Amino acid sequence: MAELHGALFEQHFLRLVSSKTGQIEPGARRLMAQLVTATVNQHSCLDLTRVDPALKQQLRAEASVGGPEDEKPFVLSHNKLYLNRFYHYESEVAALISARNVALDIPDANLLAKKLEQHFGGAEHNRQKLAAFLAIARKLAVITGGPGTGKTSTVVKILDILLEESPELIIKLVAPTGKAAMRLSDSIDEWAATREKKFQVQTLHRLLGMRKDGRTWRHGPQNQVKVDLLIVDEASMIDLTMMHRLLGALPDHTRLILLGDPNQLPSVDTGNVLADLCAGEPGFSSTFGELASNFVGEVQTVERSHHLTDSVCELNKSYRFDPDSGIATLSKAIQSGQSATNLIDNSVVFKSGDREPLIHDLLGYWKDYIDLLAGKQFDPGLLLSTFEQTRILCSRRGGDAGVELINQDIESALETKGIKSPDNEFYAGRPILITRNDYNLGLFNGDIGICTPIENSDQFVVSFPGTAAPLLASRLPKHESCFAMTVHKAQGSEFDHVILVLSEEASDDAASLLTRELLYTAITRAKTSITIHSNTQVWERAVSQSSRRVSGMTQFLGIGEASKLAAVQSELF
């Protein structure tokens, strides 16, 4: 279906272009069609490295193709073909990142050294100390790492150090989704309670003032956000368009700290921004290394530095997983394209991808939650916290192994247990996932609540963490049950136990969703254990595929990965 929609869009777009600029030569038309297909698949451009020079010359001659300064539908630059909008988004994001990528003065080096030692201690925490020094010494800091590596705890210590020096700093903390914002808020609650200044985590949409029409914004280049330090969590979820909007809304003086895991799934929409920022060889320039060593000890340096060399720091020690645990072993292996199913322990269980075992096991995953419902214990906080311990994650929404059918199967089973009435979509304990923002109600795509009955009534209310009062179920914006959800929707969440269900459908659409980034994202949502329903063939195919997207960002930033990206995209057509 996605391929059909893409083909129809491609035909319509090229017909529109030719109506404005005249007949398009067949070779150039083919490249333009490939670009449109690539854009539908969230690539920001088409790499032309392997295209015949004569064909590229034909493309340059087209009236609809121009350079960066031309107002043409297509832009040819750095051996890549762009739609005009995405060229300008990408080049402007790179320029805005570059402008912020500067060193700051350190007023009192001795005092900073003492504070870093006070907050981070000895050698065991050197990597976190290095990230903190980087964030204090530079206007831009990109702090990356997998789950449990201490990104949030490092940021809290950075805030302590900066606020001790400048208590008047205007600081804002944001995340791409309501769920991710809530998780960040929970992570800093204990620390925030000790501060006189109030810290509220908000979504990017709220920070930038998205208006009710969903298309216009209060803040932008002409009305920038008042902020001295902006901390953005889960930055891998931010697409190119949103990053462009965010950076344009920040004053020149604002410090920016991006937190995230570049190995996770890329954003739902076009772009691969965080992964692009982290694409260079790890390590620091000799100049930065010499400076940082005065504060944090020896620092790894690289011979060939690039523009962002001194602004990216990876935290690589996990405090959540034992490095030899099954979850840690499997997630590391997947990053390097290895299946590693023979190296795991009992925290990871593989089961047949057949549907029957899955259906048989479904309700067993929520025994404690179902026991609460059977016992008429409808405290929303207890119900939600018990439910949230476990989640089924799927690679796609449709199909036998998709979100929609699995949720239906579970609710059918709840009907047989008398927990759900077949005549009412709402029932005590129904887990609700909001799928459309409602700014009037303060609910956002990704928010999760729990349904409970109103005493002596046939109506239900839904309670959401962080809201003042429950809402009548009948007032909810678009929503669905969420025993199962897509891996994409689960980004920014974590659960004690994860059940990963991989589709065995052979269609191109289904197969293209199965990538190592999807597996890595799903596995690292699990804090304690994961059960994987998949056959060997599907698993191996997913491990072998990458969802890395093609862009020109690394070239704009002087990082450069042209040959790798050309190889990625050559497999698409």
Q: What is the CATH number of the domain that holds 242?
A: 3.40.50.300
CA distance 516 to 136: 34
Whether the Cβ atoms of residue 209 and residue 217 lie closer than 8 Å to each other: yes
CA distance 334 to 367: 31
CA distance 147 to 321: 9
The CA-atom distances, in angstroms, between 50 and each of 83, 90, 265, 367, 570 are 19, 22, 27, 56, 8
Secondary structure letter of residue 469 according to DSSP: S
Q: Could you give the number of structural domains in the chain?
A: 3
CA distance 178 to 224: 22
33 falls within a domain: yes
CA distance 69 to 81: 14
- Alpha helices by DSSP H, listed for 452-561, are 487-490, 508-513, 516-523, 536-544, 553-556
Q: Whole-prediction pTM value?
A: 0.88
> Is residue 360 domain-shared with residue 414, that is, in the same domain?
yes
Across the beta sheet with 312-315, what order do the strands follow?
Answer: 201-203, 171-175, 229-232, 255-260, 140-145, 312-315
Extract the residue ranges of the chain whose pLDDT is less than 70: 1-22, 122-125, 340-345, 353, 505-511, 560-573
Q: 3-state DSSP call for residue 486?
A: strand
Strands (E), 253-332: 255-260, 312-315
> Is residue 136 domain-shared with residue 248, that is, in the same domain?
yes
Number of neighbouring beta carbons within 10 Å of residue 69: 7
CA distance 31 to 33: 5
Q: What does the block give as tokens for 317? A: 């020690």
> Of 320, 348, 374, which residue constitutes the final position of a domain?
320
Q: 3-state DSSP call for residue 419?
A: coil
> Is residue 268 domain-shared with residue 198, that is, in the same domain?
yes
410 falls within a domain: yes
557 falls within a domain: no
> Is residue 9 domain-shared with residue 134, that is, in the same domain?
no
> Is residue 153 domain-shared with residue 301, that is, in the same domain?
yes
> Is residue 389 domain-shared with residue 268, that is, in the same domain?
no
Amino acid at 66: G
Whether the Cβ atoms of residue 494 and residue 448 lie closer than 8 Å to each other: no
CA distance 510 to 493: 24
Radius of gyration of the chain (CA): 25
* Among the listed residues 226, 266, 280, 264, the one whose alpha carbon sits nearest the alpha carbon of residue 97: 280
> Is residue 196 domain-shared with residue 302, that is, in the same domain?
yes
> Of 287, 320, 353, which residue constitutes the final position of a domain?
320
> Is residue 63 domain-shared with residue 203, that is, in the same domain?
no
CA distance 185 to 174: 9
φ/ψ of 210, rounded to 5, equals -60, 130
358 falls within a domain: yes
> Is residue 307 domain-shared with residue 393, that is, in the same domain?
no
559 falls within a domain: no
Domain of residue 496: give its range: 326-421+479-534
CA distance 396 to 500: 11
Amino acid at 440: N
So what's the pLDDT on residue 563? 41
The residue with tokens 């419902």 is 373
So what's the pLDDT on residue 568? 45
CATH code assigned at 38: 1.10.10.1020
> Is residue 330 domain-shared with residue 282, that is, in the same domain?
no
* Among the listed residues 433, 411, 396, the one whose alpha carbon sits nearest the alpha carbon of residue 362: 411
Number of neighbouring beta carbons within 10 Å of residue 253: 10
> Is residue 16 domain-shared with residue 147, that is, in the same domain?
no
CA distance 295 to 114: 9
> Of 501, 517, 534, which residue constitutes the final position of a domain?
534
Q: What does the block give as tokens for 71? A: 């107002």
458 falls within a domain: no
21 falls within a domain: yes
> Is residue 337 domain-shared with residue 388, that is, in the same domain?
yes
343 falls within a domain: yes
CA distance 409 to 356: 11
φ/ψ of 521, rounded to 5, equals -60, -45
* Among the listed residues 416, 404, 405, 476, the one whose alpha carbon sits nearest the alpha carbon of residue 447: 476
Q: 3-state DSSP call for residue 463?
A: strand
CA distance 413 to 120: 51
So what's the pLDDT on residue 456? 86
Strands (E), 408-523: 431-434, 448-453, 460-463, 471-472, 479-481, 484-486, 495-501
